[in-house]
């Protein structure tokens, strides 16, 4: 009987240091009878030697296209753009199920290669809750980036390149220093505050010293009346942490920003949800994803108005790559242990059915 196997591929997205499988969880899989192949990767936060020490088999960087077809490929972020067919089974965030830019082209690669996609974003337990998500660390890191951008704005500068932190304490210390020692006096509004992502943003704001009354925590009850919301214009930092599944009224628009004139307090918008190319994006004031090297983009406003910056980085948790990877991988582990029975385990059969549904939709438009 063949041993169940996973192949951990390298990540090709710039600055992406996280891993879907950590040495800790890899060892637990090996102890359970799995073979684990790990591509060498100098960019990853975990050293190759850490995987080797727990029994993983190291293989060359980006060699997964040559892996045996029956070996599942495990990764995090989307694959580089290509037209090559995909014959393997891939477990990753593909960002192609909500009509994002290029979604049908991505799925067509699986169709032509007869491969399968199990999208990590849509692995759900019986109650419909995601079994593993980076949400908390996305919100935490997004709030930190927003605070750093505010500090830069106050100095009359644009926020420079963001670099991953060794740990949470280092991040908090750096953010507090940038704000002059504390975030006291800063006012922030978090929409989606009751979810994983929103809780992370609120936690960061507390840890850098914001007063509790200066952290506005909004969720479905507060947004039920429908936007745009003038309250967003009266804080320093606005963090969007919602999970967008359908069209909703915009939270903020260029018109509402312009109407506020020079008295607007808002300086930084952090769109952690990052539905940049989604036609239902509730923050239609920007149109590009920002990056770690250029983390902000200016909103196009009349020159006589105060500047407004947007952060729309789609892999914010890599600012804390070790901690976020450990948490995510530990949450994913029980599902990975069940993967050999994917033809009967509900979580995996549901994910496959969703893939087949989306594949059919893609075929209709490609």
Residue 266: CB atoms within 10 Å: 22
- Tokens representing 234 are 């009266």
Distance between start and end Cα atoms, the chain: 40
Assign 3-state DSSP to the chain and report helix, strand, coil percentages, each to 5: 40, 10, 50
Binding-site entries:
129, 195-196, 219, 223, 243, 272, 313-316
Dihedral of alpha carbons 79, 85, 90, 95, sign: positive
Query: Hey, which bits of 71-126 come out as E strands?
Result: 73-74, 89-92, 116-119
Selection from 6, 44, 40 nearest residue 25 by Cα: 6
- Give whole-number Cα distances, 357 to 181, 261, 363, 364, in Å: 52, 47, 10, 11
Query: Quick check: 219 and 193 in contact, CB under 8 A?
Result: yes
* 224-226-229 Cα angle (round to 5): 110
Catalytic: 95? Answer: yes
* CA–CA gap between residue 44 and residue 62 (Å, rounded): 13
User: How far is it, in rounded angstroms, from Cα 37 to Cα 30?
Assistant: 11
Indicate the pairing of strand 73-74 with strand 89-92.
parallel
Alpha-carbon gap, residue 276 to 288, rounded angstroms: 6
CA atoms within 13 Å, Cβ hemisphere of 188:
37
CB 299 within 8 A of CB 309: yes
Extract the annotated binding site for NAD(+).
Answer: 129, 195-196, 219, 223, 243, 272, 313-316
In whole angstroms, give the CA distance from residue 311 to residue 294. Answer: 9
Rounded-to-integer distance, Cα 289 and Cα 95, Å: 13
Q: Which of 95, 176, 187, 217 is catalytic?
A: 95
Strand partners, 272: none
Question: Which of 77, 137, 176, 358 is flagged as catalytic?
Answer: 77
Q: Is 177 a catalytic residue?
A: no
Catalytic residues: 77, 95
């Amino acid at each position: 009987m063949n041993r169940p196997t996973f192949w951990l591929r390298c990540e090709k997205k710039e600055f992406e240091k996280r891993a879907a499988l950590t040495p800790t969880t890899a060892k637990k899989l090996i102890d359970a009878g799995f073979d684990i192949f790990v591509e060498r990767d100098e960019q990853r936060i975990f050293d190759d030697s850490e995987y080797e020490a727990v029994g993983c088999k190291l293989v060359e960087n980006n060699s997964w296209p040559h892996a045996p077809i029956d070996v599942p490929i495990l990764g995090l972020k989307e694959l580089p753009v290509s037209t090559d067919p995909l014959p393997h089974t891939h477990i990753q965030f593909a960002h192609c199920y909500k009509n994002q830019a290029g979604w049908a082209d991505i799925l067509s690669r699986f169709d032509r290669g007869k491969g399968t996609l199990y999208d990590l974003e849509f692995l759900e337990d019986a109650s419909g809750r995601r079994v593993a998500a980076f949400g908390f660390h996305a919100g935490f890191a997004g709030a930190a980036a927003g605070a750093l951008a505010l500090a830069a704005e106050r100095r009359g500068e644009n926020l420079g390149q963001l670099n991953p932190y060794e740990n949470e304490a280092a991040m908090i210390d750096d953010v507090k220093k940038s704000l002059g020692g504390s975030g006291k006096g800063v006012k922030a509004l978090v929409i989606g505050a009751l979810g994983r992502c929103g809780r992370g943003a609120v936690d960061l704001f507390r840890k850098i010293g914001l007063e509790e009354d200066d952290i506005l925590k909004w969720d479905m009850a507060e947004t039920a009346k429908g936007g745009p919301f003038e309250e967003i214009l009266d804080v320093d930092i606005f963090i969007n942490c919602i999970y967008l599944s359908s069209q909703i009224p915009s939270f903020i628009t260029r018109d509402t920003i312009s109407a506020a004139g020079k008295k607007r307090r808002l300086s930084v918008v952090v769109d952690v949800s990052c539905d940049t190319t989604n036609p239902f994006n509730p923050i239609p004031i920007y149109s590009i994803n920002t990056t770690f090297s250029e983390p902000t983009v200016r909103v196009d406003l009349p020159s006589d108005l105060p500047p407004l910056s947007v952060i729309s980085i789609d892999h914010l948790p890599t600012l804390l790559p070790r901690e976020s990877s450990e948490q995510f991988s530990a949450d994913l582990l029980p599902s990975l242990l069940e993967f050999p029975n994917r033809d009967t385990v509900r979580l995996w059969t549901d994910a496959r059915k969703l893939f087949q549904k989306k594949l059919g939709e893609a075929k209709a438009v490609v």
